[in-house]
């Protein structure tokens, strides 16, 4: 799409300047927020299963740590590039400030396709990346976490490699770890749970009845599945979902648990029994009341925004709406819960994990859920 030719970081700075004008921010503040503090680009040689060595490019960007250590995920995806990582680090700085956690912005990533790599290759890649950036991270410096293409297992490998390098166990260096090595309860569903709380508040504020509301979700990975389940339990109809391979549509609604089981078995939601086949982007323009973009950046653009029929958009992905499309949506009267709030549940519970690691606490599911609800609705 033509809009995606524009630098993602330039798009992010457009939103900064727009917000700065509303807030009357001084020019020196805008200037300070416009550039990352540190950019790391590393080469990671990995012995592949066929015996050959392949060199991957990894990134870590730290953006404005005035409020505390850098904080943000690690993404494994073929599209990872410096422009994307810089943008995501900027958004993390804003997001962390919005929900009041004491962090600056951080983001990392490796240009790779994890779906085409074995577990052994992924482990070697992760350990190589951890070794390459180890001296630039730590619980008081930069605290990574998962993102697209990564999970608790990858965080565990990362933590283990870091511990070997520094010669001691430092659980607070990374969050969303497996429970067995210091992870927090509730972290696996935190992004979806936080988005759910934000959706409840938005629906109440904008008088949108949730029982019977039609929900369309672009993306059906770790962040989308929980909110689909929670909304379904409230009586919403999940009418459309998609993943990178395609989508499924049923105006009568689909069971999100059955969808998840089908995707786990077939690696796609396409072909879900009783559904009509969609493309990966189609859920954006499906007839619905609530649209949840939960995939990648720049999905709602000036090319497809006129087809958006939702009354409310909950941005569970980072930067899913371009500035041009955002302006058109506001002119149409569409209500939006922006990404810096809607998907902040993950980093909020990561903060809880960081606190528990440092203080020796171990909170229950109920404690974590209540603290998350307070953070997302205050």
* Catalytically annotated residues: 107
Structure tokens at 293: 């973009």
User: CA angle, 213 as apex, 208 and 219 as ends, to 5°?
Assistant: 110
Residue 25 Cα distances to 29, 31, 367, angstroms: 7, 10, 37
DSSP per-residue string spanning 234-298: TT-EEEEEEETTEEEE-TT---HHHHHHHHHHHS-STT-TT-EEE-SSGGGGSS-SEEEE-S-SS
Q: Give me the helix-helix angle, 345-359 and 365-377, nearest 10°.
A: 130
* Secondary structure class of 313 (helix, strand, coil): strand
Bridge partner list, 62: 38, 106
Q: 46, 110 in Cβ contact below 8 A?
A: no
Structure tokens at 347: 């980093």
Residue 375 exposed, middle or buried by CB count within 10 Å (0-12, 13-18, 19+):
buried
- CA atoms within 13 Å, Cβ hemisphere of 46: 30
Q: Give me the helix-helix angle, 190-205 and 345-359, nearest 10°.
A: 130
Q: 177, 155 in Cβ contact below 8 A?
A: yes
Bridge partner list, 218: 242, 293
DSSP per-residue string spanning 138-203: BTTTEEEEE-TT--HHHHHHHHHHHHHHHTS--GGGSSS--GGGTPPTT-TTHHHHHHHHHHHHHH
Strand order through the sheet with 276-278 = 276-278, 246-249, 237-243, 214-218, 290-293, 312-314, 335-337
Pairing of strands 290-293, 142-146: unpaired
Structure tokens at 190: 């935190």
């Amino acid at each position: 799409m033509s809009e995606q030719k524009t630098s993602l970081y330039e798009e992010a700075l457009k939103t900064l300047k727009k917000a700065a004008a509303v807030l009357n921010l001084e020019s020196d503040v805008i200037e300070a927020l416009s550039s990352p503090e540190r950019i790391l680009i590393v080469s990671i040689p990995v012995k592949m299963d066929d015996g050959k060595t392949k060199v991957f490019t990894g990134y870590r960007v730290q953006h404005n740590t005035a409020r505390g250590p850098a904080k943000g995920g690690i993404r494994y995806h073929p599209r990872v590039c410096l422009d994307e990582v810089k943008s995501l680090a900027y958004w993390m700085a804003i997001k962390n400030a919005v929900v009041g956690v004491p962090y600056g912005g951080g983001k990392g990533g490796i240009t790779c396709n994890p779906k085409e790599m074995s577990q052994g290759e992924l482990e070697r890649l992760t350990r190589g990346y951890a070794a390459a950036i180890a001296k630039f991270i730590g619980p008081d410096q930069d605290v990574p976490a998962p993102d697209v293409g990564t999970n608790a297992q990858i965080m565990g490998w990362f933590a283990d490699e870091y511990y070997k390098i520094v010669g001691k166990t430092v659980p607070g260096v990374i969050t969303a770890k497996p429970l067995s090595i210091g992870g927090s309860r509730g972290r696996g569903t935190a992004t979806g749970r936080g988005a759910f709380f934000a959706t409840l508040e938005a629906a109440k504020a904008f008088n949108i009845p949730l029982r019977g509301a039609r929900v369309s979700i672009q993306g059906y990975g770790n962040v989308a599945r929980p909110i689909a389940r929670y909304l379904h339990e409230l009586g919403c109809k999940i009418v459309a979902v998609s993943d990178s391979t395609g989508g499924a549509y049923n105006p009568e609604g689909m069971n999100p648990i059955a969808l998840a089981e089908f995707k786990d078995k077939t690696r796609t939601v396409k072909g879900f029994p009783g559904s009509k086949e969609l493309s990966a982007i189609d859920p954006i323009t499906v007839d619905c009341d609530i649209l949840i973009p939960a995939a990648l950046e720049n999905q709602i653009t000036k090319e497809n925004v006129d087809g958006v029929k939702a009354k409310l958009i909950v941005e569970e992905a980072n930067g899913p709406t371009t500035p041009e499309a955002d302006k058109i949506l506001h002119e149409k009267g569409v209500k939006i819960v922006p990404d810096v709030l809607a998907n902040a549940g993950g980093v909020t519970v990561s903060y809880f994990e960081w606190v528990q690691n440092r203080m020796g606490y171990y909170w229950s599911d109920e404690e974590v859920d209540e603290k998350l609800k307070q953070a997302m609705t205050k």
